């Protein structure tokens, strides 16, 4: 598919505000599809199909593809360019307002589906959080994201962030390909990477209340330059002394900073802190 020609034919100008950078490298597209390990019976949810270059390849291997596109003009283009694929369903709307397995265009999704997406940089974290916490979760997520974000997703203790904690709580992320800026049109100012996340049947750490767990983690990262005792005390409106005692019971040095804690340490800290909240 000649992306530049298609844009001219439809008089479509990519909008920077919507992160419309279309992947034009055939090799990169095929690496993304390969990372999804598609089988003939698979159902794929694609977020942000754009002009359908990736959608076409997905449709050649999957039983069904549901492509969610925000831009109405692109939906009209997709309806024409993908007319030869009756098992591709194009849904116009905001993925953040759609619940897999719930009412609306994603209602028919059941567990076991796969997500493949070339995500606009500005909504990467929000989309991942939305899909990983959905009532009906996918079994696998393959996303193309800014390379720096990909590195944050797979980071270990010392470089952890709210994003890495969130992703690693629900699955096992790994970088499977690197894509240069020149593989897109128009080319973004940064390079990208493809991340595969294999979702876990259950979290790798024991947490009795997931909402409380992330409330504590968010508080810790809310002021990540501060020592943990101060960040948590301020973020959770708790006495510093009580937080210090809770962290010591959890075996966590209160002078450490949020990015140094592992998932296991966050789980232990949460268990103790919840008792004083």
What is the rounded CA–CA span in Å between residue 47 and residue 274? 36
Closest CA to 48 of 149, 128, 104: 128
The confidence score (pLDDT) of residue 19 equals: 81
Closest CA to 119 of 130, 135, 103, 108: 130
pLDDT digits (tens, 9 = 90+) for 174-183: 999 999 999 9
Which of 10-19, 40-49, 106-115, 256-265 is least confident? 10-19
Assess contact for 177 and 25: CB atoms under 8 A.
no
Give me the domains of the chain, ranges plus CATH numbers: 3-199 (3.40.50.150), 210-274 (1.10.8.100)
Q: Look at residue 122 and tell me whether its pLDDT is greater than 90.
A: no
Q: Could you tell me the two tokens for 64?
A: 């069904």
The b/e string for 19-46 (b: 16+ C-beta within 10 A; e otherwise) is bbbbbbeeebbebbbebbebeeebbbbb
- pTM confidence score: 0.92
Task: With cut-offs at 50, 70 and 90, classify the pLDDT of residue 108.
Answer: confident
pLDDT digits (tens, 9 = 90+) for 11-40: 888 887 778 889 999 999 999 999 999 999
pLDDT digits (tens, 9 = 90+) for 34-76: 999 999 999 999 999 999 999 999 999 999 999 999 999 999 9
């Amino acid at each position: 598919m000649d992306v530049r020609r298609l844009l001219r034919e439809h008089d479509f100008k990519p909008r920077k505000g919507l992160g419309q950078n279309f992947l034009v490298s055939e090799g990169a597209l095929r690496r993304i599809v390969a990372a999804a390990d598609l089988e003939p019976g698979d159902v794929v949810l694609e977020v942000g199909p754009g002009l359908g270059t990736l959608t076409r390849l997905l449709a050649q291997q999957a039983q069904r593809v549901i492509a969610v596109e925000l831009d109405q003009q692109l939906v009209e283009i997709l309806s024409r360019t993908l007319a030869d694929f009756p098992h591709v369903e194009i849904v116009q709307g905001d993925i953040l307002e759609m619940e897999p397995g719930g009412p609306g265009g994603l209602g028919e999704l059941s567990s076991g589906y796969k997500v493949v997406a070339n995500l606009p940089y500005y909504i990467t974290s929000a989309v991942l959080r939305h899909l990983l916490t959905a009532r009906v979760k996918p079994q696998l997520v393959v996303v193309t994201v800014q390379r720096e974000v990909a590195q944050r997703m797979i980071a270990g203790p010392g470089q952890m962030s709210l994003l890495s904690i969130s992703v690693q709580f629900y699955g096992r992320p790994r970088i499977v390909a690197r894509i240069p800026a020149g593989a897109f049109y128009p080319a973004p100012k940064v390079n990208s990477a493809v991340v595969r996340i294999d979702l876990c049947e259950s979290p790798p750490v024991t947490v009795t209340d997931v909402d409380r767990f992330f409330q504590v983690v968010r508080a810790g990262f809310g002021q990540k330059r501060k020592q943990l005792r101060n960040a948590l005390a301020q973020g959770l409106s708790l006495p510093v002394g009580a937080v210090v005692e809770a962290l010591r019971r959890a075996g966590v040095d209160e002078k450490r900073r949020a990015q140094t804690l592992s998932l296991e340490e966050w789980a232990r800290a949460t268990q103790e802190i919840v008792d004083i909240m």
